[in-house]
Each structure stands twice: as structure tokens, then as C-alpha cells.
Amino acid sequence: MHTFKELVAGFGDRFTVKHFPETPATLYEPGEYFLSWGGKRIRPVMCLMGSELFAEITPDAYEVATAIELFHNFTLIHDDIMDEAPLRRGMETVHMKYGTNTALLTGDVMMIRAYEYLSRINTLYLSRILQLFNKTAREVCEGQQLDIDFEKMTDVSMDAYIDMISLKTSVLLAASLEMGAIMGGASEGNCRHIYEFGKNLGIAFQIQDDYLDAFGDPEKFGKEVGGDIRQNKKTFLLLHALEVANTDQKKLLQELMTNNPADKVQQVLAIFKTCGVDEWAKKLKDKYLQTALTHLQDIAVLSSRKGPLEELAAFLIQREY
């Protein structure tokens, strides 16, 4: 058994290789550029952890983990094009550095490369892994499209928003764990529980992300707070505020979002607090975290094997606020 940190370090080392042929460099160099930035590699590590919960990690688990990380990077490259993002982690995005057409193709070929890693695994479970991978990949696209749609809508229900967030980010975390579990020989019931653990953990993480962007300690959070508010981004907090605010608060919120006064962030935060949005968000996050942990409990393996997944939950979800 390996700790979460050992797996992060181990996967990071293995992943730091060239993933594409040398030529044509105009196609493959942008892909290597993007992959060279590093990153937490959470999803592939979740695949390894899903596997090690049930059995020793095999070379196949590394193939699938690599496929997952490449797929995730494909989505980032295409998302950056759609968002017209100039920077990611302080680096020039692929489309800014190499042009949109090359970035589009770099994303395409990165997804194909993911399938090349997948294609190498044992045929015993190739179909099953491939089907889960495909379903998840399609759901991630659905989530991205819904996100685009929601940005243009004035009225998005909380349920629809949770569905979107779940598709856009949580299903890939969930599927990463389950693909590992499948390779580890897990039963269908255990596969379902580990999937739900990942999915609910992912939603809790997103709620926390929205919370920290508004109420986080800038020093601990590592970035300026209020970015989502400044951009009128639909978040758990804003949607809930619009649901519970009285007529006057609602009117003020909408005025602030239209007129963008200098003290917009402070004023919106004040409404959020008056409406109890901060306490509500903490409770909602805890609800999803508890659901995740209950599914983890229900996985039928020795509880001593669950340590790394508990570490993962603690790493993703901070309890200090």
C-alpha cells in the first residue's frame, strides 16, 4: 500500500516523459509544452488508489491513469480556447502561444493519445474500461456545454447547476476511481460505491471552491477573493442568494451585477452574509462530504486499506472553516 503523497510523487515521475512522437513538431511540441507544466495529477492518482484499494497496482493501472491525465489535459486545452483564456497557471495557453487552429488539433491529438494508452491494457477488462471512459468523456463535454448555456441564462435552478458541475468535474474523478477499481477486480457493488464516493467528493470540492473564492482567507487561498463575484460568475453562492433573497436584496444584487461599482465585492458579500449563504454553503459541502464518506465506508474491503482515500478526502476538503 502507498500513501496518497507517495502515489502523487510516483505518478508524477512516471508521467514526466515525452508523450508524443518528435514529428511533426508543429503538432506535437505544443502538446508537450502544455504537459510540461506539471500539476497535481489528482485524477490519475485516484485511478491508482482505486486499484490499490483492492489489489496491487499493475502496469495496466498506469496506462489507464496516463490516459485519464491526457484526457483531462485535452479538456483544458479546448476549454482555454472556448474561454479565450490568455494564461493558465501563469503560463501562456496553447492557443495564445501557437494559434487557435494548432491548439484545436493539439487537443484532438491529445484525446487520441489517451485512447492509445487505453488500447494497451488487458482485453479482459478493456471493453468495460473503454465504455466507462467513453461515457465519462461524453459527460464532461455535456457539462462544458451546459456551463456555456447557463452563463447566458438568467434563471438556473440549483438542481440543474449541481447536475452541470457534476458532469463537468465530478464524473471524471468518480470514473478515475472506478476504472482503477475495475482493474483491481472489485465487485459491481464496490465499483458503485467508489464511483459515488468520488462523485460526491467532487461536488463537495466545487462548493468549497466557490465558498473560498468569496469567503476564503486570501493568504491561505493563494489568490485574491471575490473573482467570481467581480465576473458575475454563476456559483453555488450566487444561485442560492438569488433563491433566498427578499425582493429588495434581489434588486440590489441585480443592480450590482449590472453596474459593477467599485465596492461591488464588499456589497455582494454583505448580501450573501445577510442571507446566510456562507453557512448554507458550509452545510451543503458537509452534506456531500458525508455522503462521500458513507460510500467509502460501504466498500467491502478491510478498512485498513481505506487510509489513502481518507487522506485524499482530507487533502481535497479542508475542515478548518
192 to each of 55, 145, 181, 308, how far by Cα in Å?
17, 26, 10, 19
Binding mask 98-127 for its own copies (x = CB under 8 A): ---xx-xx-xxx-xxx-xx-xxx--x--xx
Question: Looking only at residues 22 through 81 of this chain, which bind its own copies when binding is defined by CB under 8 A?
Answer: 24, 26-27, 78, 81
Q: Are the CB atoms for 14 and 68 separated by under 8 Å? A: no
Give the C-alpha distances (Å, rounded to integers) separating 180 from 48, 132, 136, 299, 311: 6, 11, 14, 14, 17
- Does 134 engage in binding with its own copies (CB under 8 A)? yes
Decide if residue 131 touches its own copies (CB under 8 A).
yes
Q: How far apart are CB 142 and its own copies at their closest, in Å?
A: 6
Residue among 113 and 306 whose Cβ is closer to its own copies: 113
Shortest Å, Cβ 228 to its own copies: 20
Between 149 and 310, CB nearer to its own copies:
149
Task: Single out the residue of 12, 85, 97, 144 in contact with its own copies (rule: CB under 8 A).
Answer: 144
- Which of 136, 208 has the CB closer to its own copies? 136
Site size with its own copies, rule: CB under 8 A: 37
Distance between CA 203 and CA 165 in Å, rounded?
7
What span, in angstroms and rounded, lies between the C-alpha atoms of 299 and 292? 11
Determine the straight-line distance between the first and last CA of the chain, rounded to whole angstroms: 31
Site for its own copies in 254-273 (CB under 8 A): none
Choose, by CB under 8 A, the member of 18, 40, 135, 305 that binds its own copies.
135
Burial 217-239 (b: 16+ CB within 10 A, else e): eeeeeeeebbebbeebebbbbbb
Residue among 118 and 289 whose Cβ is closer to its own copies: 118
Any contact of residue 162 with its own copies (CB under 8 A)? no
**Using rule CB under 8 A, residue 142 touches its own copies:** yes
Distance CA 69, CA 136 (A): 13
Binding flag, residue 85, its own copies (CB under 8 A): no
**Would you tell me which residues interact with its own copies (CB under 8 A)?**
24, 26-27, 78, 81-82, 101-102, 104-105, 107-109, 111-113, 115-116, 118-120, 123, 126-127, 130-131, 134-135, 137-138, 141-142, 144-146, 148-149
